[in-house]
Amino acid sequence: MKKTMVAAALLLLISTTRASQTTKHSDERNILSSELPVALQSSIKATYAGYWITELTEEGKDKHAKYTLTLENADQILHLRAGKSDEWEVVSTTTKGE
């Protein structure tokens, strides 16, 4: 019985540790592309027309907000971020199939 309780406690501890490692910052939230500032929306539509948004988060609020964006097409995955400047910066590019 003790071995079962110890194993259950260990499993609970491991799952709790993993969950805490994958949580987002307390002020980070998923948003819709329509919630982006107009300048950032326009830039995505003009520059990345052949891509779809797979993840979009906002950290902070109003003038201090930072955005993280993941775009994909058939060949690539792009990770972008934007802050005060209202311009997207490419953080990383991954070719699918690598």
pLDDT, tens digit (0-9, with 9 covering 90-100), for 39-95 = 999 999 999 999 999 999 999 887 789 999 999 999 999 999 998 778 999 999 999
Residue 82, judged by CB atoms within 10 A of its CB (0-12, 13-18, 19+), counts as buried
Q: What is the mean predicted confidence (pLDDT) over 16-39?
A: 74
For domain 27-95, which architecture applies?
Answer: Roll (3.10)
Residue with tokens 């540790």: 17
> What pLDDT is attached to residue 11?
56
* pLDDT above 70 for 24: no
pLDDT value of residue 90: 96
- Supply the DSSP string of 44-76, one letter for each residue: HHHH-TT-EEEEEEEES-GGG-EEEEEEE-SSE
Distance CA 94, CA 12 (A): 35
Please report where in the chains the tokens 């987002």 appear, as a residue.
24
Distance, CA of 62 to CA of 37 (rounded, Å): 10
Over 60: is that where the pLDDT of 6 sits? no
Please give the pLDDT value at position 16: 55
